[in-house]
Structure 1
C-alpha cells in the first residue's frame, strides 16, 4: 500500500476534511497537480475546480472556488475560499457561483477582465465536470 499523508481542507465556514490520504489532486491556478507523501514543500493558489482526495477509506471530491494549498512532505492543507463536498452540491450552488463570477467579470476593470472571464469559465467547467450545467 502507498504511503499516506495528512490532508486537511478548511473553508471560512468550517473544516470539511481531516484524514489520511495517499494522494490529493488539486486544481492549481498554474495547472492541475497530484500530491503524494514526500512531495516537495510547495504553496500554490487554487482555481475553481474539483479537488479529489484518495485514501484507505476511499475517494472524496470537493468543489473549490479558489484559495491556497500548502504542501509538505508530511501532508497537504487546503485553505479554500469556498468548498463543498461533491455530493452536497446543488443546482442552486452552481448557479450562485456562476452569478457571482459573472458579476465580478462585469465589474472588472480592463486589467482584470481576462482573469475574471477565466474564473467564470472555470466555474462553468467545474459544474459540467460533476454533471450540473449552469442555468
Structure 2
C-alpha cells in the first residue's frame, strides 16, 4: 500500500511526524478532507477540530486549532497554532477551560467581552474533550 508522510507543525516546532500514513483526515473550513498518497497538490485552511492519521491500521487522533495544511502527492504538512495527541489531553483541565469559556459567554449580556475570543475558547476546549473521548 502506498503511504503518505504527515507533519504537524506549531509555532514551537514539529509536534508529530510519520512517513507511513495510510490516510490523513483534516477538517478544512469547507469540510472534511481525506488525503492519501498521490493526492493532487492543495493548500487548505483548517478549522479547530480533529486531525486523524491511520498508521499501520491504527488511527491516531489529534486535537488541532485553526491553521492551514499543504498537501502534496507524498506529504501533508499541517501548520496549526496548537496540537495535542488524544491520549495526552488533560480532560480535567479541558473541562475547566470549557467552563471558563461558557461563563465568559454568559457575561456577554452584562459586560463588554470579546465574543469571538470567548466562542473560540469554548470551541477549542470542547474539541479537546471530544478528541480525548475518541469522537
Please state which band the TM-score falls in when normalised by the shorter chain.
Answer: 0.7 to 0.9
Q: TM-score, normalised by structure 2?
A: 0.74
What is the alpha-carbon distance in structure 1 between the residues aligned to residue 69 and residue 100 of structure 2?
Answer: 25
Q: Where in structure 2 are there 5+ consecutive unaligned residues?
A: none
Structure 1: gaps of 5 or more residues: none
3-state SS in 2 of match to 1:92: helix
| Distance in 2, Cα, partners of 1:39 & 1:70 | 11
Structure 1 vs Structure 2 CA RMSD: 3.0
Alpha-carbon distance between aligned partners in 2 of 1:4 and 1:101, rounded to the nearest angstrom: 41
Partner deviation per Cα, 1:45-78 (whole Å, 9 max, x = no partner): 1111111111227321110011111001111001
Tell which structure's C-alpha radius of gyration is larger. Answer: 2
How far off is 1:103 after superposition? 6.4
Alignment of 1:1-135 (within 5 A): 2-20=1-19, 21-56=21-56, 58-90=58-90, 91-93=92-94, 95-96=96-97, 99=100, 106-108=113-115, 117=119, 119=120, 122-123=123-124, 125-126=126-127, 127-131=129-133
For the Cα contact (< 8 Å) 1:47–1:122, is it kept in 2? Answer: no
8 Å contact from structure 1 (residues 70, 76) kept in 2: yes
Q: How far apart in 2 are the matches of 1:25 and 1:83?
A: 14
Check conservation: 2:47, 2:67, Cα contact below 8 A. yes
Counting matched residue pairs gives 125
With the length of structure 1 as denominator, give the TM-score of the two structures: 0.74
* Contact 2:49-2:64 at 8 Å conserved across structures: yes
